[in-house]
């Protein structure tokens, strides 16, 4: 990060019949929500998701410097044909 600030964490993710579920953590702080990328439709869709540190906050304070973003696979939707996690864009927007 170039500067210390509160950041909104947003991602454009791929939803497909082969998509799975995951959680995200920033610097080992688990973010909400657990995300299910499964869709039964045969074409890929892209949707924007917001990841929050808790139910009350839509931003996270990040200090200047490097941070670690971790995606962890979770048990998939019972109807999914796979466990793919597709990220097209990730935004860290200062607020």
Domain boundaries, the chain: 5-94
- For strand 45-51 and strand 35-36, is the pairing parallel, antiparallel, or unpaired? unpaired
| Global confidence as pTM | 0.88
Percent of the chain at pLDDT exceeding 70: 100
Does residue 85 contact residue 37 with C-beta atoms inside 8 Å? yes
State the pLDDT at residue 45. Answer: 87
Q: Encode pLDDT of 38-84 as tens digits.
A: 999 988 888 999 999 998 999 999 999 999 999 999 999 999 999 99
Q: For 43, how many CA atoms within 13 A lie in the half-sphere containing its CB?
A: 1
State the pLDDT at residue 44. Answer: 80
CA distance 33 to 10: 12
Kindly report the average pLDDT of the chain as a whole number: 94
HEC string for 24-56 = EEECCEECECCEECECCCCCCEEEEEEEECCCC
């Amino acid at each position: 990060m170039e500067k210390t600030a509160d950041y909104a964490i947003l991602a454009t993710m791929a939803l497909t019949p082969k998509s799975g579920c995951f959680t995200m953590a920033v610097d080992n702080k688990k973010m909400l929500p657990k995300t299910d990328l499964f869709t039964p439709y045969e074409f890929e869709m892209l949707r924007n998701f917001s990841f929050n540190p808790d139910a009350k906050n839509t931003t996270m304070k990040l200090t200047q410097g490097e941070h670690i973003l971790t995606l962890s696979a979770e048990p998939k939707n019972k109807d999914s044909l796979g466990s793919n996690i597709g990220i097209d864009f990730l935004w860290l927007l200062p607020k």
